[in-house]
Chain A
Amino acid sequence: MTDYFEVLDRDGPARLGELRLSAPVTTPACLDDVLEDAGSLWAADREVPAGSDEKLTILPHRSFPPGTREEVREAFAVEHPSVSFPSAAVVTADTAAAVGADAYVLADVRGFDGHAAKLRETIVTLKSKLPADTALIASGIATPGNVAMLAYAGIDGFDTARAVAKGTQGKYLTSDGEVFLEDLRELPCSCPACQRPREAFTREDCVEHNKNALRAELRRVRERIRAGRLRDYIEAQTRHEQWLTAAFREFDQQYSYLEERTPVIRDTELTATTGDTIRRVEIQRFADRVTTRYKNRFQNPLVLVPCSATKPYSDSQSHKQFLREINFRGHVVSMTSPIGVVPTELELTYPAQHYDTAVTGRWSEDEKAFVSAVLQRYLERNEYPKIIAHVPDHGYRDICERVEDALGLSFEYTVADHPTTDESLSALSAALHGAEQFGKREREHNTVKAIADYQLGAGAGDELFGAIEIQTTGRYPKLQVRDSEGEQLATMVPQYGMLAFTLAGAERWVDSEAPLKRVSIDGFVPHGSVLAPGVTDADEEIRPGDEVVIEGPKAFGVGRATMSGPEMRSSTRGIATEVRHVESK
């Protein structure tokens, strides 16, 4: 049971938490002032400490430094007393087990310091063994350079021990690394310690600066988590140190660890400016869902168009011109790096309208390979009477040709030099000559069904909205889905292109064959939110931001998950899901 720590917000594996001491501490943070070490059992026998609400007491421990063999770790394992004050237990990845503490202190820091694969292995192992709502603390490792990556990996608590040690050694730390004081001509910082001439700056000042820099970096990390943009930051910042770059790549290889913790929606920008962006969960997940869940419902020819910097695409100057020529005669799918392909129905769906990339027209081989693979999978699943590629040379055209070759298809190319020249636009219109126009109703119905497919699973759109006569009301993109009686089932949320259900819609979802995401709760009627202790079960597949049905002996409701299904099940604190609508049973 976690009493003194609560996760308030998440950004992938990184968490914004609160250590609920008499003076609460927002994590990730340096915990020097609140950690109280009851001491090592290697050195002496220890009494169970008295503890206090002001401190997080590290229970008497026997740490196993890296290199300790399993027999020794097992033989010297410590029994942790059950206490009522804020407490932390010292663990190593291999022997960690939940012991009812609020926090766990990692004894293997030296084992992964500088070793990317080891860091990934340690954290993933620990997180699989410890309750999600407990804090993870690493002492003696944080620097301004590595703390963002360590927080991204899922560590909540740090201390200044390493930064101070470096300062005493005359090593000046910044978020871009470490420099010997002797090599600095200017102080690249304006913290209070650096408010003096370079010549007057001593190692003592360096200690102060290092602590300031670490604390400032942690503020940045917390702000990034609040904004949902920590990944954007570390993708750039970790370039300054090789092992940190390797570390987030290692985690990208550990897809399921990240995927489980990555939200399905955000309403912030996603910066796509490095080659590693392609491997982000958000990108991979979108490509995966578009090629395994989404199904084209239009009978018209496919028109492949290049993406635009303006989002959603249909608001851009170029797309407005394309759409005018196409005039509802073709199904528009945008090709883009790093997302892959975006069918027009999903142009608002996270992260399609949220990513922003550096546009130079220069495609890397990775980008080409990724987009071709996605386009190929897309065309294997969706058949069209005709495929028009209204794309420029370089990149786009290469990709189209690769896919034509791979699938034995033949595209009609309509761009002569640039997609928006009169000549190209006329060719586009001409290529669609004779194709039928689809109407607004078809367009809107297909849009909400496509979103249902993407959001809930393959076939969900037809399961929910196919067998009945639905109506769409409101003005795109604020569409409401209603049944034939006019009762509202769902709303399309323009900020991230997903559906939000009403109670009637949720009932329909439960009764349908569409994959359900259900949070089972105790016998109460939740208002506003469901807290983790009220959850009796939750589906494994639930992700933060997912639409979920909330069901218990006394209530039926619908809302949005704030944590993953596995996290709901292992947590005893924190908001599990927000409740949008609820009724008593």
Chain B
Amino acid sequence: MSKPSPEVYETGRGMDAHNQVMREIRAEKQRTYDPHEPTRVWIDEDNTPTGVYESLTIILNTGGCRWARAGGCTMCGYVAESVEGGTVAHEALMDQIDACLDHEAEQAESKCDLVKIYTSGSFLDEREVPAETRAAIAETFADRERIVVESLPDFVTAEKLADFTERGLETDVAIGLETATDRVRRDCVNKYFDFADFEAACAEAETADAGVKAYLLMKPPFLAEPEAAADMISSIERCAAVAGCHTVSMNPCNVQRYTMVDELFFEGGYRPPWLWSVAHVLESTADVDAIVVSDPVGHGSDRGAHNCGECDDLVQKAIKDFDLRQDPSVFSQVSCECETTWEHVMAAETSFNMPLVR
């Protein structure tokens, strides 16, 4: 397995340019955060290979993604939500976990069977989360059913995952693959690893009896609506075919502040995908051998996936319904006049006339 790292991959003209621009954009943000508080925590409901669970979702503040500090992904604004100085000590991280447990105690019916930990980086990167902290967190949640931890593929090793699997947790690694198309991941998203690395990470997870949940990004900058939808359909098919990857979370790009996407959006050069496109992709891939879900952030707003404004909530509801039941017939129950407009966009939008419709 090749060992890509941010340092090695920060080469090439396109990547240099993307990184330089992203660094400049990110530098415009001035806020810093308290290392003793998690970035965000909420209670949700999730579909997993062993059924639907109530979930505790944690966005841990770990000092953030090192790739993003080099420049990073064109759509990602989360790096700016990290602490000043770059690293967060073990004690502070454990304070964050305590805060999340308090939140759960207040908000959830009971202890959630599913815990999901994201860092806007790599939970399995020991420069972000030291081995000691990882073990302590595994211990904290040892009484749950399932755990999901976010990581780039290069940090996935059976040894690290053993911290969780050996405590009897069904363990999944959430990998931000974004797309199975290397070219799109590299040139549009500016992410530095290849699909082959994702496949290798899936194999590695399997040896530890863990699974992989692939995160895909619908409509990165520079792709027109039909290109973006086609890219998602093929990506879902390719991910589902990889052993170990049992779930695909396909999420429409939203416009986050201090990103390249935000600059394009501001000048009129970017529109988040249509919710119809999300529905279309889910419907088209309903028969793949994996759970496919989507969670459109900021649906119905200009900065999130949206349709015409009339039907956004209905279509969003159908998508959430599909997430839990995986039944494509939910989409035949929603319709709106704007579906014709979307069909036209799918037929006529190109990267030199987009967005054809706001």
Contacts and interface: CB of A to CB of B under 8 A. Distances in A.
B348 A140 contact: yes
Contacts of B266: 67
Nearest to B13: A75
A106 B354 CA distance: 11
Given A76-B17, A161-B344, 13 more contacts: A42-B188, A61-B351, A62-B351, A66-B269, A68-B269, A72-B17, A75-B17, A106-B352, A109-B352, A110-B353, A161-B349, A164-B344, A165-B345
Nearest to A71: B17
Interface residues of A, number: 40
A104 B13 CA distance: 25
Interface stretch (B57-65, B81-89, B138-146, B220-228): B220-228
Nearest to A77: B13
Interface stretch (B47-55, B206-214, B334-342): B334-342
A540 interface: no
Contact of A140 (B16, B181, B231, B349): B349
A245 B351 CA distance: 28
Interface in A119-170: 139-141, 159, 161-162, 164-165, 168-170
Contacts of B188: 42
A42 B222 contact: yes
A69 B17 CA distance: 9
Interface in B1-34: 13-14, 16-18, 20-21
17 contacts: A40-B222, A40-B350, A42-B183, A42-B351, A61-B351, A65-B267, A65-B270, A65-B354, A68-B264, A69-B21, A71-B16, A140-B349, A140-B353, A140-B356, A159-B353, A165-B345, A169-B308
A65 B351 contact: yes
Given A43-B184, A161-B348, A141 B14 contact: no
A107 interface: yes
Contacts of A90: 352
Contacts of B357: 165, 169
A74 interface: yes
A377 B338 CA distance: 61
A71 B20 contact: yes
A42 B350 CA distance: 11
Interface of A: 37, 40, 42-45, 61-69, 71-72, 74-76, 90, 105-107, 109-111, 113, 139-141, 159, 161-162, 164-165, 168-170, 203
A76 B268 CA distance: 20
Contacts of B350: 37, 40, 63, 139-140
A71 B71 CA distance: 13
Interface string B180-202: 01011001100000000000000
B17 A109 contact: no
B168 to A, nearest CB: 44
A22 to B, nearest CB: 24
Interface of B: 13-14, 16-18, 20-21, 181, 183-184, 187-188, 221-224, 227, 230-231, 260, 263-270, 308, 337-338, 340-341, 343-345, 348-357
Contacts of A74: 17
B269 A45 contact: no
A110 B354 contact: yes
Interface centre among A63, A72, A109, A168, by most B CB within 10 Å? A72
Chain B interface secondary structure, helix, strand, loop or mixed?
helix
Given A111-B268, A170-B337, A105 B181 contact: no
Contacts of A168: 337-338, 340-341, 343-344
B263 A67 contact: yes
B269 A110 contact: yes
B225 to A, nearest CB: 12
Contacts of A140: 348-350, 352-354, 356
Given A76-B187, A140-B349, A164-B344, A65 B222 contact: yes
Contact of B221 (A61, A65, A113, A139): A65
A44 to B, nearest CB: 6
B14 A65 contact: no
B21 A71 contact: yes
B61 to A, nearest CB: 29
Contacts of B21: 69, 71-72
B352 A165 contact: no
A75 B222 CA distance: 14
A76 B15 CA distance: 10
Contacts of A109: 352-353
A106 B230 CA distance: 24
B352 A139 contact: yes
A62 B267 CA distance: 18
A75 B14 contact: yes
Contacts of A105: 352
A44 B222 contact: no
A42 B223 contact: yes
B268 A110 contact: yes
A69 B263 contact: yes
